Amino acid sequence: MNERISESRLRRILSGLMLALFLAALDQTIVAVVLPDMARTLALPDYLPWVVSAYLLAMTVAVPIAGKLGDLFGRTRLLQGAILLFMLASLLCGLARDTGELVAARALQGIAAGAMMNCIQSLIGELIAPAERGRYQAWFSGMFAIAGLLGPLLGAWLGQWSWRGVFLINLPLGLLALLLARRGLQGLGNSQTGKQVDYLGCLLLTLGLGSVMLLITRIGHGEPWQSTEHACLLLLGAVGSLAFAFWQTRASEPLIPPALLRISTLRASLTVMLFSSFLAVGLAVLIPLQAQGSDATPLLTALAAGVPLGAFAGGRLSARLKRYKPLILMGCSALPFCLAGVAWAGSSQALLLVFLLLTGVALGLQFPTALVAVQNAAPRAQLGVATACCGLVRGLGGALGAALLMSLFVALSDSQASQAFEHVLLMCAGLAMLPLLIAWRMEDQRLAEQVASR
């Protein structure tokens, strides 16, 4: 995709991409509110938590594979295929007769969502120059946050008639996204010929990453840490990950080229993303636990509202400064103090809302800007893989944050019930100093003002 495109065509493309991203992000949260209705109508209700977890697990594993396939065969066709698969999986979810069928369909839906998210973020990297990319990535971060907020509300509204409606609504929305994407992206292609898919790498990555994510998810569901099943998953995860890393140094067309991870800016940005996702998702899990039955919606809303605010501000500033490091450093510097403020807010609801909003802003300054830094540093031919690495570390960091911080909170609540939340947040504030040190040492490159040629 080296040709210049008009502003009107770019707007058409972005409208389709934003709707597709909205669909993928919406289905992370829309399901949770109708789980009680599913339990009343479907067999095996004990497995219902996997309706949410199967989607997130499959999406995380699918992202790096989709990134490589997009680099090899073109993102336009992959995106359209992913939207069609998402619609088919949504239909299967809506027609599910028992929990097993629903979980399987949700996993298929997660695979499609992972491919959609990677294609969308990679296409932004192909169509928009790095210097301007931050403001566009900010819009997509805002859409992601809006989908997270609207999901439970839309799910509750559709659930008044039937829980199946939360899946069937994806059919008309998916069709509209497909039509908009096809119109805007028609004639744009970037496939490479003569390249082979690293099938063994895909298998090993799925085994290693899938086992790790499954282990984290099971622990997040409250299952005991020490069990034979968890030991087996840990072993499979370690063996699969090590075998994958070894194979990537031998494969002729590796899924994640080792040379890509030797780029210092890329490594630093991915590490910042990992910590930020850990803290963001972990905090979103801690807030309802701390609420203890009271309404946690205003607190979660304040946190979620701050993310797009920070992303919009960071996007505009990066476009003006033509640099990414000042924004990442600003967000990383503010985050420890904001987390400490949340911990020390005490019983003051107003102070808690303010510090949660500022925490969201600090996170929002990091997410899209770090993605822009990764895409700016990566070779054009490996843009999809680099973008996929961002999705992978965000998914892994979020899963770790949810499982570990929830377990830590529960453990501290047994002995320090009144101070557990404060102590966990102060630990998080201390942990947030690590990405600050990484950001401080990060190379400060100027963002390119033109889209790189392949």
Question: What is the residue-wise DSSP string for 375-442?
Answer: HHHS-GGGHHHHHHHHHHHHHHHHHHHHHHHHHHHHHHHHH-TTTHHHHHHHHHHHHTHHHHHHHHHS
| 131 or 391: which leads in pLDDT | 391
Instruction: Tell me, yes or no, whether 192 lies in a domain.
Output: no
| 25 or 363: which leads in pLDDT | 363
pLDDT band at 301 (very low <50, low <70, confident <90, very high): confident
Q: For residues 209 and 329, state if they share a domain.
A: no
Maximum mean pLDDT: which of 29-43, 137-151, 259-273, 288-302: 259-273
Per-residue pLDDT, 39: 78
Q: For residues 242 and 330, state if they share a domain.
A: no
Which residue from 146, 447, 137 is spatially nearest to 312, judged by alpha carbons?
137
Number of domains in the chain: 3
Tokens read off for 366: 């990091």
DSSP bridge partners of 323: 446
Task: Using the 3D structure, point to which of 160, 183, 206 is the last residue of a domain.
Answer: 183
pTM (2 d.p.): 0.83
Q: For residues 49 and 162, state if they share a domain.
A: yes
Q: For residues 1 and 129, state if they share a domain.
A: yes
pLDDT band at 4 (very low <50, low <70, confident <90, very high): low
CA distance 270 to 394: 9
Which residue from 52, 30, 47 is spatially nearest to 163, judged by alpha carbons?
30
Q: Which of 24-33, 68-77, 368-377 has the lowest mean pLDDT?
A: 24-33
Q: For residues 22 and 103, state if they share a domain.
A: yes
CA distance 198 to 175: 32
Q: For residues 350 and 391, state if they share a domain.
A: yes
For 277, phi then psi, to 5°, come to: -65, -40
Domain range for 225 is: 198-252
Q: For residues 97 and 175, state if they share a domain.
A: yes
pLDDT band at 192 (very low <50, low <70, confident <90, very high): low
Instruction: Tell me, yes or no, whether 335 lies in a domain.
Output: yes
Percent of the chain predicted with pLDDT > 70:
91
pLDDT band at 411 (very low <50, low <70, confident <90, very high): confident
Per-residue pLDDT, 187: 60
DSSP state of 446: B
Instruction: Tell me, yes or no, whether 412 lies in a domain.
Output: yes
Tokens read off for 324: 């990414």
Instruction: Tell me, yes or no, whether 191 lies in a domain.
Output: no
Per-residue pLDDT, 191: 53
Instruction: Tell me, yes or no, whether 190 lies in a domain.
Output: no
Burial of 452 (0-12, 13-18, 19+ CB in 10 A): middle
Instruction: Tell me, yes or no, whether 93 lies in a domain.
Output: yes
Q: For residues 116 and 169, state if they share a domain.
A: yes
Tokens read off for 157: 């509204």
Q: What distances in angstroms separate CA 136 from CA 141, 182, 325, 412, 415, one per listed residue? A: 9, 20, 18, 42, 47
Q: For residues 227 and 205, state if they share a domain.
A: yes
Q: Mean pLDDT across the stretch 30-51? A: 77
Instruction: Tell me, yes or no, whether 145 lies in a domain.
Output: yes
